[in-house]
Copies of this chain bind each other. A is one copy, B any other.
Amino acid sequence: MPVNYTPSLAHDLLPVSGLSIGIAQAGIRKVGRKDLTVFLLDEGSSVGAVFTQNKFCAAPVQVSQIHLAATTAIRALVINTGNANAGTGELGLQHTKETCYALAKLLNINPDQVLPFSTGVIMETLPIDKLLAGLPSAIANLDVNNWYAASEGIMTTDTVPKSYSEKIVIQGHEITITGISKGAGMIRPNMATMLGFLATDARIEPSLMKGLAFDLAEKSFNRISIDGDTSTNDSFIVMSTQKASNPVIENWDGELAQQVKQALTRAAQNLAQAIVRDGEGATKFITVKVSGGSNASECRLAAYAVAHSPLVKTAFFASDPNLGRILAAVGYSGIKDLDQTKIGLYLDDVRVVVNGGRDPLYTEEMGQAVMKKSEILVHIQLGRGDAEDTVWTCDLSYDYVKINADYRS
């Protein structure tokens, strides 16, 4: 059960004009499961993307990057679950190329206009024949109203589908934003086995799309952590079908541009946080805010150290205010010349630590009361400057071990 997350209903997910989606059951890992999804974008659409920083990135990540470098006219996405096609060497690359080639042929576009994505078990050969055989069914299924089915089609260990949709009217122009994401473990900065697909019809200058994907990821998918592992396959894609009536956004300065970006950020954050809320075995959603840093980068160091610490995460699972573990994590986070006598720590509104020591007014009961909640704010003050940053994470439970020990069984 995800933490305070209710999946959207199918009819809540608004179609984005110029984008249709088809889903098929290709039997890639198990039969009777939606495991193949195709996105088809109208001509004239634009795409921006960011990918895992893992050097051992999967074949589809390598090929997607090549295709994005080769053309600005991306027309299709193909996503399979059940197999990540990572650690598969030259054969894996060949399989991904075959996939793009086959889909391009069926859609009458060029292979480099296809972006491929895979998620699932690493280091197993992709059952390419099953995947190719499933493509015609996915294409036959293409429909603008298929967002909900797509949100199911990209799930792996997710317990619920994740999606977000919103219609905004800015200066008389109606703009639609709809997206889906999948997690759920192995999430961390620079993403992890997560996929995020966000689409809008807002007209945006194509040259802005790459930077937009980066900016959105920095405020959403790059600020979440489940277990500190970074996957080989993470990808976040922003698409614009350019079908809305707004004047083309040529930079992010104007009122309309800012409102569009805010809405897209809201959508990306919602999709990213949904991954944490459905983190493997998660029972709590924890916001780790670090303020008072010399710069944002050291705030992130401290925040991630806390968010990745198995000791901190098990304490949250147990609702045990063993909060010294948070101080310990800040202490080893790698911030240079950290002065422990300036550190402060709040749990929601409860001041726990002042000047690096336990607040004399703090009681175990006060900490316990916060720890029992399902949504908790950990606020660490470094006392060194004005910078701050925030990451989102979840606790570490028995079920995390169970899920990851049993993943393939």
CA distance A228 to B402 in the complex (A): 20
In whole Å, how far is A282's beta carbon from the nearest beta carbon of chain B?
13
CA distance A398 to B406 in the complex (A): 12
Q: Encode A307-324 as 1/0 by CB contact (under 8 A) with B.
A: 011110011011010111
Query: Within 8 Å of chain B (Cβ to Cβ): is A92?
Result: yes
Query: Within 8 Å of chain B (Cβ to Cβ): is A407?
Result: yes
Interface size on A, residues (CB 8 A): 69
Query: Within 8 Å of chain B (Cβ to Cβ): is A5?
Result: no
In whole Å, how far is A346's beta carbon from the nearest beta carbon of chain B?
14
> Judging by beta carbons under 8 Å apart, are B396 and A401 in contact?
yes
In whole Å, how far is A8's beta carbon from the nearest beta carbon of chain B?
29
Please pick, from B56, B328, B355, the residue contacting A330 in the complex, using a CB distance under 8 A. Answer: B56
> Judging by beta carbons under 8 Å apart, are B358 and A87 in contact?
yes
Q: Provided the pairs A123-B327, A232-B331 are in contact, do residues A315 and B405 lie with their beta carbons within 8 angstroms?
A: yes
CA distance A142 to B341 in the complex (A): 37
In whole Å, how far is A6's beta carbon from the nearest beta carbon of chain B?
27
Query: Within 8 Å of chain B (Cβ to Cβ): is A229?
Result: yes
Q: Encode A323-349 as 1/0 by CB contact (under 8 A) with B.
A: 111011111100100101101000000
CA distance A249 to B3 in the complex (A): 62
Nearest residue (CB) in B for A336 is B55
> Judging by beta carbons under 8 Å apart, are A408 and B332 in contact?
no
Query: Within 8 Å of chain B (Cβ to Cβ): is A253?
Result: no
> Judging by beta carbons under 8 Å apart, are A229 and B329 in contact?
yes
Query: Within 8 Å of chain B (Cβ to Cβ): is A102?
Result: no
> Judging by beta carbons under 8 Å apart, are A320 and B407 in contact?
yes
Please pick, from B57, B87, B315, B353, the residue contacting A324 in the complex, using a CB distance under 8 A. Answer: B87
B contact residues around A46 at 8 Å (CB) = none
CA distance A208 to B298 in the complex (A): 36
B contact residues around A125 at 8 Å (CB) = 358
* 30 sample A-B contacts, Cβ–Cβ < 8 Å, listed by A number: A53-B332, A54-B328, A54-B331, A55-B330, A55-B335, A56-B331, A56-B340, A86-B324, A86-B327, A87-B328, A87-B356, A87-B357, A87-B358, A88-B358, A89-B357, A122-B322, A122-B324, A123-B322, A123-B324, A124-B358, A185-B311, A190-B332, A228-B228, A228-B310, A232-B328, A310-B396, A318-B404, A320-B405, A396-B401, A398-B402
